[in-house]
Amino acid sequence: MSELRPHGPIVVLAGGLSHEREVSLRSGRRVAQALRDQGREVIESDLTPDLLVLLRGLVDPVVFPVLHGGVGEDGGLQQVLSLLDVAYVGSEPAACRRSFNKAVGGPLVAQAGIARPRMAALPHDMFRELGAAALVTALGERIGFPMIVKPARSGSALGCSKVTSAAELPSAMVGAYAYGDLAVIEEFIEGTEVAVTVVELDGEPVALPAVEIRPNSGIYDYTARYTAGETRFIVPASVSDEVAAACAELAIAAHRVLGLRDLSRVDIIVRPDGTPVFLETNVAPGMTETSLMPQAVEAAGYDFGLLCAQLVDNAWARHLS
Amino acid sequence: MSLPEPARRDTRLDPYIDAYAERTHGLTVSAVRALFAVANRPEVVSLAGGMPNIADLPREALAAAVDKLINERGTQAMQYGSGQGEPFMRDKIVEVMAEEQIHAHADDIVVTCGSQQALDLVTRVFCDPGDVVLAEAPSYVGALGTFRAYQCEIVHVAMDEHGIEPEALRNALVTLKAAGKRVKFLYTIPNFQNPTGVTQTLERRHAIIAIAQEFGLLIIEDNPYGLLTLEAEPMPALRSMDADNVVYLGSFSKIFAPGFRVGWVLAPHAVREKLVLTQEAATLCPPVFSQYAIATYLDQFDWRAQIDVFRDMYRERRDAMLAGLNDHMLEGTTWTRPAGGFFVWVNLPEGLDSQAMLPRAVTARVAFTPGTAFYADGLGARFMRLSFCFPPPDRIYEGTRRLGEVLKQELELNRTFGLGASSPRHLDLSTGPAPDIS
């Protein structure tokens, strides 16, 4: 790196106006502190009209977006940063869009031969126009119960429900549509829940050890995600070496298929027969005290701050080239 | 990058998870509460929090007075103080309470860290786990949290637009007594109740006191908003009608400023003794500097005129909210018309669930508090609390417009899916906004 012109301050972007603002602020503080511990100059900023002024006033900034949900993950922010020719950590706008919209990312991954649950993505207008009763029946027949209903563009399990019968489906749909006008209905797959973080440090995606998730309540919902003690994590996951390798392979494949960059987290269910099934991927994985990625980084024997700093350096080198 | 072979780690990320007291059950992160994080952003009209608007305080003059206080009496003002509260502060509190026809002696007052701590001390002094506390249905979310923290069983008593229904109170007491339950007190906010904005009528006050006397029931009267009347003169406090059977909680948070964290308890002599010792165990003494600052304010400024300024400001905001609700709410929506305080309570059309609707509202850049926050039993989904205390009138009006759109969308969705009229119970126990949410 020594021959490169050094970058300027790192702008850690967190907050925003999404439903996940609180989580993003927590993730942002963690990343900012980790980078400061590495001796880096860090400016923490919310996503406000002052941001562009701030970026214009800085020499050679690198942005580290830690915005969960909304424009932080749907490619909107990345599009603006690309337009402004500002270096940033993470995936390009189109890849973010593909990944964040579960209705797009899921089928793309499936086309590449990766196992994923049966699913349907439906806007709420469809139920109004075709009649909810008929569609609910069709969904029950095609997807089967239990099923998972979730907003197509959201995170942190907000608006997600497990539906065990047709009678529960309407309120689950209303719950998902409260977060956006597109919902995904997918087959519930029984198995071991794991998350695999993928990082690119030497130009190649590397899968970190899978983190196994065992929520006390049985459901990895918002409370289970962000309250220490509410979920048991096993790192690396208590699966065989073969299954662990298959999970890593799946995560890297999904990362590549979606065209992701720098870092991503892939959520997976391992069927009882050991087959990993893709659920979704995240371009801005949570970085809070209870989040999965920092645990995976630690389990890999890597320092979280050092990893963040390397991602920044990679983004800067990419920008210069 | 080469990765070493890792050792397996099995963790719940909290080494003390099995060590916590049972009373911490339910103290978890809440998705509903997290949604309020956007409320303080300027794009969002927040009708969610209960932050008083203190912009009209004479801040420059206050700064000079506090400066003088530090220069001239700083060594006392920044020192430990009395566990009961400073004598001069208690004298001033007697003056403030006289505005609501309460005749008290400074010896019977215990100064606390906001009236929230007063509530904590009273509950600590009276309640064992499993004891029953009666509270209005709905009631102040912060009080429910305190009662839960002491593992009380909260039993709600029905209320209407005139306050607690006396028959409901009597029936609850009879039923609970027959069930062998120990009912420790009735917690009530008689003036501009949080969350409903309802004020108990004089007739109801007499009826409630009569029933309490008949059953030997202690009343905890919480009165933070009493002086913020927007229409008539303040009603006589319950404490002014029964000095022996009412523990009264007061606060400077709404008539001056909440950041000083000064409230008080006025209690019968024997209770007061226990409260002082409990206060010393909890904090040694209430904030001394704050007491000096508040006493300075009460001495040197026309605080009664300042309350008039607050009243005019809040009246304008309340009127904006009522006008906005009138213009934008859907048919089938009803709401209270508070004569003071901070809050309007909205009853939504059949089938709507305010908690489920909150994410949609946040997307539409408006926030409110779901009614479920104010019930200990998961009910209240059909209600929401709107605060008119903080945003300026035009923003409040705009907030009601956005809310009207949200209701419309939600109702349409409910109809599409044929959701029934019944409201679900929500058992997420921490759905109220944090104190720093506007």
Radius of gyration of chain B (CA): 23
What is the pairing mode between strands A205-207 and A192-200?
antiparallel
User: Which one of B6, B29, B34 has the shortest CB-CB distance to A300?
Assistant: B6
In B, which residues are within 8 Å of A170 by CB distance? 417-419
Please compute, for residue B229, the number of CA atoms within 13 A of its CA located in the half-sphere on the CB side.
14
Label residues A101-115 b or e (16+ Cβ within 10 Å = b).
Answer: bbbbbbebbbeeebb
Q: What is the largest CA-CA distance in chain A?
A: 65
Please tell me if residue A236 touches chain B, with a CB cutoff of 8 Å: yes
Which A residues, 175 through 194, put their C-beta within 8 Å of a C-beta on chain B?
175, 177-180
Task: Tell me what the mean pLDDT of segment A242-251 comes to.
Answer: 98
User: Which one of A19, A234, A301 has the shortest CB-CB distance to B10?
Assistant: A234
pTM value is 0.94
Q: What is the pLDDT of residue B185?
A: 98
- Cβ(B140)–Cβ(B374) under 8 Å? yes
Helix (H) or strand (E) holding B249: strand B246-251
> Cis omega before residue B393 (within 30°)?
no
Q: Which residues contact A56 (CB under 8 A, 6 or more apart)?
A: none
Q: Which residues are B163's β-sheet partners?
A: B160
CB contact under 8 A, A300 and B3: yes
Q: What is the DSSP string of A118-136?
A: -EEEEEHHHHHHH-HHHHH
> Cis omega before residue A276 (within 30°)?
no
Q: What is the pLDDT of residue B3?
A: 54
In A, which residues are within 8 Å of B12 by CB distance? 228-233
Q: Which residues are A130's β-sheet partners?
A: none
Q: What is the pLDDT of residue B286?
A: 98
The answer, yes or no, to whether residue A162 has pLDDT greater than 60, is: yes
- With a pLDDT cut of 70, the percent of chain A lying above it is 99
Q: What is the pLDDT of residue B171?
A: 98
- Substitution target from A27, A212, A230 for chain B, most B beta carbons within 10 A: A230
Q: What is the pLDDT of residue A153?
A: 87
Q: Which residues are A187's β-sheet partners?
A: A147
Q: What is the pLDDT of residue B27?
A: 87
- Cβ(A234)–Cβ(A219) under 8 Å? no
Label residues B157-166 b or e (16+ Cβ within 10 Å = b).
Answer: bebeebbbbb
Q: How far is CA B305 from the centre of its chain?
A: 25
In A, which residues are within 8 Å of B418 by CB distance? 132-133, 170
How many whole angstroms separate alpha carbon B208 and alpha carbon B221? Answer: 12
From B78, B82, B31, B395, select the one nearest B264 (Cα to Cα). B82
Task: Tell me what the mean pLDDT of segment A133-138 comes to.
Answer: 90
Please tell me if residue A289 touches chain B, with a CB cutoff of 8 Å: yes
- Cβ(A288)–Cβ(A226) under 8 Å? yes
Closest-CA distance of chain A to residue B352, Å: 11
Q: What is the pLDDT of residue B384?
A: 97
- Cβ(A235)–Cβ(A296) under 8 Å? yes
- Cβ(A127)–Cβ(B416) under 8 Å? yes
Please tell me if residue A214 touches chain B, with a CB cutoff of 8 Å: no
Query: Could you give phi then psi for residue A291, rounded to 5 degrees?
Result: -75, 165
From B356, B95, B162, select the one nearest A176 (Cα to Cα). B356
- Substitution target from A46, A149, A163, A171 for chain B, most B beta carbons within 10 A: A171
Q: Is B71 left (phi over 0), alpha (psi -120 to 50) or beta?
A: alpha
In A, which residues are within 8 Å of B356 by CB distance? 171, 174-175, 178
pLDDT bracket for residue A101 (50, 70, 90)? confident
Which chain A residue has its CA at the smallest distance from B415's CA? Answer: A128
Task: Tell me what the mean pLDDT of segment A197-210 comes to.
Answer: 94
Q: What is the pLDDT of residue B433?
A: 86
- Cβ(A305)–Cβ(A38) under 8 Å? yes
Q: What is the pLDDT of residue B6?
A: 61
From B320, B323, B364, B383, select the one nearest B53 (Cα to Cα). B320
Q: Which residues are B183's β-sheet partners?
A: B132
Q: What is the pLDDT of residue A1?
A: 47
Helix (H) or strand (E) holding B167: helix B166-178
- Cβ(B429)–Cβ(B41) under 8 Å? no
Question: What is the full per-residue pLDDT of chain B (438 aa) written as tens digits?
Answer: 555 566 789 999 999 999 999 999 888 888 888 899 988 899 999 999 999 999 999 999 999 999 999 999 999 999 999 999 999 999 999 999 999 999 999 999 999 999 999 999 999 999 999 999 999 999 999 999 999 999 999 999 999 999 999 999 999 999 999 999 999 999 999 999 999 999 999 999 999 999 999 999 999 999 999 999 999 888 899 999 999 999 999 999 999 999 999 999 999 999 999 999 999 999 999 999 999 999 999 999 999 999 999 999 999 999 999 999 999 999 999 999 999 999 999 999 998 999 999 999 999 999 999 999 999 999 999 999 999 999 999 999 999 999 999 999 999 999 999 887 777 778 776 778 888 887
Which B residues, 345 through 374, put their C-beta within 8 Å of a C-beta on chain A?
356-360, 362-363, 365
How many Cβ atoms from other residues are within 10 Å of residue B109's Cβ?
26
